[in-house]
Amino acid sequence: MHSQLIFYIFFNNNNHKINQMKKTFYLLAVLFTSLIISCGGDDDPIPAPVVVTPEVVIPDTGAPTITLVGSSTINIEEGDSYTDAGASASDEVDGDISSSITTSGSVDASTPGTYTLTYSVSDAAGNSVSLSRTVIVAVATKITELGAVGIVSEQTPAEAKKTINGKWNFPDSSAKSSYSSKLNTCEFDFIEFTDTTYFLGIKLGELDYAVTGQYELNEDSEGNVSSVDLYYFTGEADVVIARLTDINVVEVNDEIDATFTINLTIPDTATFDACNELSGTYSEVGKEEPMAQSYAVANTSTNTSTTSQTGSNTTITSYVDPISHVTLVNNTWSLQSITEDGITYTITEATADFCQEELCDANGNCQETTIEGCSPPTSINVQFSAYGSYNLVFIGGSKGTYVEAGKWVWINEPGEPMFYRFEGGETFVMKILDISESILIMQEDNDITLRFNAL
């Protein structure tokens, strides 16, 4: 009885709860439907859900690209100026990143050698790349271009130096004075230009004479060379003794000739003032052929001791090592000391007898006396050129600057570097004991040793 009552109560209670839940679900359904209807019109569709796709980031692992501006190997000569062209760089992600390039290494154009410049760059992701350039600084040949031509008034100073460089021989009898108030007549022999110095060879009566000094290239308003001034030291001051204008250098039938006008203003205190009458215009002033080794060495590596060059159907073989050759050609050396019989003399000691002269009486008794008012030279230079000139230049002292002109030529045989020096009808054998860019030690006829420093 009790069990039946409990079952009845439980069953009825559960039915009541179920009915209540149904009512609740029904009310919720009606409310949800009402909300949907109230939020839109009868025809508005239900919006589709928004799907967000996450961004996929691709890592930057590619290195930038770097490119040299100009050649990867640059060849220059000692003493030339060098300006690096740099490099450019780009990256697929970052674009142009040339401004981020860093350069390591440097070039000393005054010192021969091989230099490396390294260019490096990194992109924003840290990827990096490097590239190198090699700059080779060769030993200076000291040979300005030997075959340049052109009108000097249309050239810059650098171009004009190449054009006038060399030894120019005046035609026979075309440049001879008849200076009546002097016992000596004057005749032009040659004029030679190196990179900084000129030598004017003249015949003063029966005497071969040479004048030397610095020259200056005068520029016009457009930066071209209007004239060339030749300076001469009188013993008191440097003065302009000649001005060259209207210089024109041409090549005809494989020969180079010059035409120019020269106006001479030599002071009457100079021994060669008779040459003032030679002012005028000269044509067909021929350029002398340079020494054979000048061609061979100028185009050959300095690492070999035997050089050859083929040109004009002729094969030239030089046994002079290039460093010895190029250090001599077109260079000027200052004498430092003279050693004879084991005794070394300074320049002051070596030139002390310049102001001594020997006087003899009627009986043949002779003695050395000091020349009144005389002072010896303060320095002695020797100048070599690619055209075979060997000029001893005495500077300072009461005589001013004067030159003993001679010639030189290599003794072109295997072995120690030697050359002949020709002066005053005599021939001397000169042996090179030591040579570098700064020092030259020579021995004359295995007897006198001369030590020079480069200027």
- Looking at CATH, the fold of the domain delimited by 65-138 is given as Immunoglobulin-like (2.60.40)
Q: What does the pLDDT read at residue 313?
A: 42
SS3 162: helix
> Which single residue is written with the structure tokens 């040109």?
311
Q: What does the pLDDT read at residue 421?
A: 92
Q: What is the pLDDT of residues 378-388, one digit of tens each?
A: 899 999 988 99
CB atoms within 10 A of CB 276: 19
Q: What is the pLDDT of residues 46-101, one digit of tens each?
A: 666 766 666 666 777 788 999 999 999 998 877 788 999 999 999 988 899 999 99
Q: What is the pLDDT of residues 400-439, one digit of tens each?
A: 788 888 889 999 888 889 999 998 788 999 999 999 888 9
Q: How many residues does the chain have?
A: 455
Residue 317 to residue 330: CA distance in whole angstroms:
21
**Based on the number of CB atoms within 10 Å of its own CB, is 384 exposed (0-12), middle (13-18) or buried (19 or more)?**
buried
Q: What does the pLDDT read at residue 330?
A: 81
Residue 142 to residue 298: CA distance in whole angstroms:
9
The stretch 347-365 carries a mean pLDDT of 83
Domain ranges of the chain: 65-138, 150-287, 292-454
Contacts of 419 (CB under 8 A, 6+ apart): 408, 409, 410, 411, 430, 432
**Does the domain formed by 292-454 have CATH 2.40.128.280?**
yes
Same topology between domain 65-138 and domain 292-454: no
- pTM of model > 0.75: no
Q: What does the pLDDT read at residue 219?
A: 95
β-pair type (307-311, 280-287): unpaired
- What is the percentage of the chain residues whose pLDDT exceeds 70? 80
